[in-house]
Amino acid sequence: MDYNFAYLDEQSKRAIRRSLLKAVAIPGHQLPFASREMPLPYGWGTGGIQLTAAIIGKNDVLKVIDQGADDTTNAVSIRQFFARVTGVATTTKTVKASIIQTRHRIPETPLQEGQIMVYQVPMPEPLFKLEPRRTETRILHALGDYSLMYLQLYDHITRYGRVAIGYDFPVMVHDRYLMSPSPIPAFDVPKMHMSPALQIFGAGREKQLYAVPPYSRVVPLAFDDYPFAPLQAQAPCAICGSQHSYKDEIILDDKGTRQYICSDTDYCEQHRC
Amino acid sequence: MNPEQQQQIFRTLLSAMSAPGEIMSIPARPEPAPLSPACAGVCLTLLDASSAVALTGMAPTVAPWLNDHCRAPMVSLDEAQFVLGMGKHWNWESSQAPIGSEEEPEQGATLILELDNLNAGIPLQLTGPGISGTRNIAPRLGTGFLAFWQKQQSQYPRGVDLILCSQDQCLCLPRSVTICRFEEA
């Protein structure tokens, strides 16, 4: 059976395209969009898939990563899905991709102008855990009142002695909107600041999308005396030896022996030889 | 215009909106239209039955053409999501186009303006998201544009976004960009 190019019908794509242009014009602001049912459940990247479907064309080269890896279930199925419904070329190499759909990582290889990052977002509202009512968070965004989040950081410092947020670290975009960078590790957040690539975010279940244009200010929340300090494994990659990449922790036996390897499989391959 | 051409034009628009002020060519050449090729391509790519459009100062042939090709509902200026107008006649002093609310700034309209020229006007300097450093442009916009934009900036995130079209080229000015007059040193 033949599907329409990129699965979605043209009218749905057009609605997403109109919203995307507005999202780029108002960096960090969440917009509602008519999220469609996709042939996979919510939580598996339906938001990201719809954005990719709305932007992708015949000449694109698509890379899909899941926690940095090109070869995990979610990445493989989404890549195969788009190969089937668009026929576009796919790649695992960050430098060759024009569109990179990602779940929870930004590649280690620096992004370039013209590339588009598509983030899969489970919960687009950064204030969700502090104020569950959408009607209220909208008002807080309108007022630019983010004192709740600062209070949360302060609470962490008094309890744990540091800001204990390892992923989904709240950021300010273009000095106006508090934004969830999606559940990427705090380690990746500095890569968003003044990135030459366009970054777009889709949350299918929550029916929201937002964007960060290239060369935009993306600043993690912090205090002067408690600056932003992301954690990183203090061991080199067991495969390629990289000291600088973000690592996955692998438990090797029942005695607690562990090994650290790069979470970004493409980066690890480049550095192996 | 086929879906493939629409996708190409959309990607051009997405790049243009992500790089404010950069002049981009609209790739596909649509069928004859009472608009410039760029403006017609933008309309055929973005407009359909669920996008409300207002026309100001356009030729009388534009409305029937839009209805035939996009089925876009015609509304008054203060209800429009998209506004088509002529750049040199646009009344910047008393613009009626919606600018959205503090909670829903995305309700601010997109103005698609036809210009004689994208580089023979007053030199302007842009800074802001999408621009590494500064970018200089000189679209021929009517008087009062700079004052309008500075007032709009004070109302950010409310505001309108511009798609300026001339022949087969376009440039975008999203509301996030800061514009000042360019004085050569």
At A79-97, the pLDDT tens digits run 999 999 999 999 999 999 9
Domains with residue ranges and CATH for chain B: 3-181 (3.40.50.11310)
Residue A229 has pLDDT above 90, yes or no: yes
The percent of residues above 70 in pLDDT, for chain A, comes to: 99
**Average pLDDT score over residue span A229-236:** 90
Residues B77, B22: Cα–Cα separation, whole Å: 28
- CB contact A166 to B (< 8 Å): no
Could you tell me which residue, A239 or B31, shows the higher pLDDT? A239
At A251-271, the pLDDT tens digits run 999 999 999 999 999 999 999
Contact state of B45 with A14 under an 8 Å Cβ cutoff: yes
CA distances for B123 relative to A147, B129, B148, B151, B166, angstroms: 41, 20, 16, 19, 17
Contact state of A198 with B106 under an 8 Å Cβ cutoff: no
Residue B181 has pLDDT above 70, yes or no: yes
- CB contact A117 to B (< 8 Å): no
At B55-102, the pLDDT tens digits run 999 999 999 999 999 999 999 999 999 999 999 889 999 888 999 999
Catalytic residue among A48, A166, A240, A273: A240
- According to DSSP, the β-strands at A177-179 and A171-173 are antiparallel
Q: What is the pLDDT of residue A272?
A: 86
Partners of residue A250 on adjacent β-strands: A259
Query: pTM of this prediction?
Result: 0.96
Q: What is the pLDDT of residue B185?
A: 58
When pLDDT is cut at 50, 70 and 90, the band that residue B30 belongs to is low
A residues 60-99 closer than 8 Å to B (CB): none
When pLDDT is cut at 50, 70 and 90, the band that residue B20 belongs to is very high
Say how many C-beta atoms besides its own lie within 10 A of residue A1's C-beta.
Answer: 2
Residue A273 has pLDDT above 90, yes or no: no
Order of strands across the sheet with B82-86? B24-25, B169-173, B161-166, B110-114, B82-86, B53-56
